[in-house]
């Protein structure tokens, strides 16, 4: 775990740096959930009464929580960005025809899909907020499951900014007590231990029992979406990828549906599991190779990470992973030579409007020392790849340039 103090900057650094300076005494923590689980991190936030922003990265997805005085007050996650259309259809809130009309409204009038859904009258703001809040809570609870991931916490509040370097969906306002969150997270973790005894591996056959299905309105948003995906013939692995949910969360929902007789579940034979995993890993590696050849390294790496998790014994998947990481870093250095010095060129007005991420703040604060890229990598709390990617993003956003 890395701890970096964020001071107010150098007195002679110029007006842009003064505008960028953070609150005196502010700080950031960056680390792995394997060494500091989410429960420990949030307990520390709660006990020290800190306010700020927590970002969790896992399997190529990102979750962001705004925290103030013991409450989670804002949320952004994968289902609020590129997955909102699928959420509202599979949760039964509207039809695919309605969604197409909403997309058309968005193309004609601009703005977010959220605004288009409300603007066309398909949903009220209250309906949409209730649906997304329920889904957001489930996603937050999933983060307590003992899976890998990285986190950044900073006590620089994101609410003080009103614009990001790239387009994102609107943030979801929330009012979730951290103490409740910790208790529910512990309960979910205990529950998962019992479910794992029921499902020793993740490959299962599921059959929907239509006559035993409860009324749709009595089901949670996630259960509705899982049932819709099962009805479409998707596998458990496919559902996890589509819903941006870990396998434990999907199995937990299925176990609840099984209790009521809505589904029948049977474990696949070990031979079938191994064969299916091997086939899926081969497919993932083929897709990753296409992405790699196209220079889409982030997409390729995300696919290979899934392949490695499915079959950690496949040495070629681990070798592929190391190779594509090295290729991306080499490609990034072609764009960002280590001897070049990043310099802030954005105006005070532009910097004042930015909603910078913690890692962007971290690097921008260190630019006051006029370090070259190689030196920045040495002092960064992020790894080499993430530091280079963040610098590239700042360049594309017109915030810095290389000299």
- Residue 9 counted as domain residue: no
Same domain? 205 vs 240:
yes
Closest CA to 135 of 244, 262, 61, 217: 244
- Residue 394 counted as domain residue: yes
- Residue 24 counted as domain residue: no
Dump the DSSP string for 120-148: TTSS-HHHHHHHHHHHHHHHHHHTTSS--
Q: What is the spatial distance between Cα 18 and Cα 21, in angstroms, rounded to a whole number? A: 5
Beta-carbon contacts of 248 under 8 Å, excluding residues fewer than 6 positions away, are: 142, 145, 147, 192, 195, 196
Average pLDDT over residues 148-167: 59
Same domain? 232 vs 277:
no
- pLDDT category at 339 given cuts 50, 70, 90 is very high
- pLDDT category at 2 given cuts 50, 70, 90 is very low
Same domain? 98 vs 48:
yes
Same domain? 379 vs 238:
no
- Residue 316 counted as domain residue: yes
> What's the total number of domains in the chain?
4
Same domain? 370 vs 321:
no
Q: What is the spatial distance between Cα 68 and Cα 82, in angstroms, rounded to a whole number? A: 27
- pLDDT category at 290 given cuts 50, 70, 90 is confident
Per-residue pLDDT at 169: 44
**Dihedral angle sign, alpha carbons of residues 227, 232, 238, 242:** negative
Same domain? 41 vs 180:
yes
Q: What is the spatial distance between Cα 153 and Cα 160, in angstroms, rounded to a whole number? A: 16
3-state secondary structure of 20: helix
Q: What is the spatial distance between Cα 290 and Cα 298, in angstroms, rounded to a whole number? A: 12
**CB 393, CB 363: distance < 8 Å:** no
DSSP letter for 233, please. Answer: T
Q: What is the pLDDT of residues 102-136, one digit of tens each?
A: 888 888 887 778 888 888 888 888 888 888 888 88
Which residue(s) pair with 32 in the sheet? 150
Which element (helix H / strand E) includes 266?
A: strand 263-267
Q: What is the pLDDT of residues 371-392, one digit of tens each?
A: 889 888 887 767 788 889 889 9
For 211, the domain range is: 199-268
Q: Which residue, 268, 298, 315, sits at the end of a domain? A: 268
Same domain? 375 vs 284:
no
- Highest mean predicted confidence (pLDDT) among 42-46, 200-204, 239-243, 368-372: 42-46
Dump the DSSP string for 74-118: EEE-GGGTTTHHHHHHHTTSS-HHHHHHHHHHHHHH-S-HHHHHH
Q: What is the spatial distance between Cα 344 and Cα 173, in angstroms, rounded to a whole number? A: 32
CATH number of residue 261's parent domain? 1.10.10
- Residue 22 counted as domain residue: no
Same domain? 220 vs 308:
no
- Residue 39 counted as domain residue: yes
Per-residue pLDDT at 115: 84
Please give the structure tokens belonging to residue 307.
């392949």
Distance of CA 8 to the CA centre of its chain: 29
Q: What is the spatial distance between Cα 123 and Cα 336, in angstroms, rounded to a whole number? A: 46
pTM, full prediction: 0.59
Distance of CA 86 to the CA centre of its chain: 17
Which element (helix H / strand E) includes 25?
A: none
Average pLDDT over residues 281-290: 86
- Residue 18 counted as domain residue: no
DSSP letter for 200, please. Answer: S
Closest CA to 87 of 57, 117, 55, 124: 117
Q: What is the spatial distance between Cα 2 and Cα 28, in angstroms, rounded to a whole number? A: 8
**CB 386, CB 359: distance < 8 Å:** yes
Which element (helix H / strand E) includes 31?
A: strand 26-32
3-state secondary structure of 28: strand
Q: Which residue, 268, 296, 319, sits at the end of a domain? A: 268
Q: What is the spatial distance between Cα 375 and Cα 331, in angstroms, rounded to a whole number? A: 19
Closest CA to 235 of 198, 192, 268: 268
Range of weakest confidence among 128-137, 173-182, 302-311, 369-378: 302-311
Same domain? 321 vs 224:
no
Phi-psi region of 2 (alpha: psi -120 to 50; beta: other; left: phi over 0): beta
Same domain? 167 vs 63:
yes
Per-residue pLDDT at 87: 80
3-state secondary structure of 235: coil
Per-residue pLDDT at 82: 58
- pLDDT category at 83 given cuts 50, 70, 90 is low
- Residue 23 counted as domain residue: no
Beta-carbon contacts of 252 under 8 Å, excluding residues fewer than 6 positions away, are: 188, 191, 192, 195
Q: Which residue, 188, 210, 235, sits at the end of a domain? A: 188
Same domain? 172 vs 283:
no
Same domain? 227 vs 278:
no
């Amino acid at each position: 775990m890395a701890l970096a103090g964020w001071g107010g900057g150098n007195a002679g650094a110029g007006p842009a740096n003064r505008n960028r300076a953070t609150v005196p005494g502010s700080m950031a923590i960056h680390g792995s959930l394997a060494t500091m689980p989410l429960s420990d991190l949030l307990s520390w936030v709660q006990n020290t009464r800190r306010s700020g922003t927590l970002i969790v990265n896992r399997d190529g997805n990102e979750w962001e929580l705004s925290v103030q005085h013991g409450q989670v007050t804002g949320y952004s996650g994968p289902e609020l960005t590129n997955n909102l259309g699928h959420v509202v259809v599979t949760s039964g809130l509207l039809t695919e025809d309605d969604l197409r009309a909403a997309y058309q409204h968005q193309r004609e009038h601009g703005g977010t899909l959220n605004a288009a859904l409300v603007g066309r009258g398909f949903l009220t703001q209250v309906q949409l907020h209730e649906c997304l809040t329920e889904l957001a809570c489930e996603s937050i609870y999933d983060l307590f499951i003992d899976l890998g991931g990285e986190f950044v916490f900073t006590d620089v509040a994101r609410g003080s900014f009103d614009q990001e370097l790239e387009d994102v969906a609107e943030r979801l306002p929330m009012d979730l007590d951290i103490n409740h969150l910790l208790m529910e997270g512990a309960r979910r973790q205990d529950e998962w231990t019992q479910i794992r005894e029921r499902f020793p591996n993740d490959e299962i056959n599921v059959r929907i029992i239509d006559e035993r299905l409860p009324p749709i309105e009595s089901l949670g948003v996630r259960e509705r979406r899982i049932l819709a995906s099962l009805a479409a013939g998707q596998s458990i692995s496919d559902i996890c990828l589509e819903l941006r949910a870990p396998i434990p969360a999907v199995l937990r929902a299925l176990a609840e549906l099984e209790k009521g007789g809505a589904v029948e579940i049977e474990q696949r034979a070990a031979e079938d599991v191994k064969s299916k995993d091997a086939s899926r890993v081969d497919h993932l590696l083929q897709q990753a190779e296409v992405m790699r050849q196209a220079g889409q390294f982030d997409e390729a790496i995300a696919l290979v990470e899934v392949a490695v998790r499915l079959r950690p014994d496949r040495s070629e998947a681990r070798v592929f992973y190391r190779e594509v990481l090295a290729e991306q870093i080499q490609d990034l250095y072609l764009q960002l030579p280590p001897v070049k010095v990043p310099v802030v060129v954005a105006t005070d007005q532009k910097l004042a409007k930015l909603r910078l991420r913690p890692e962007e703040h971290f690097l921008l604060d260190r630019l006051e020392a006029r370090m070259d890229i190689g030196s920045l990598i040495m002092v960064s709390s992020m790894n080499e790849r993430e530091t280079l990617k963040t610098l590239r993003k700042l360049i594309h956003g017109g915030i810095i340039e290389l000299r």
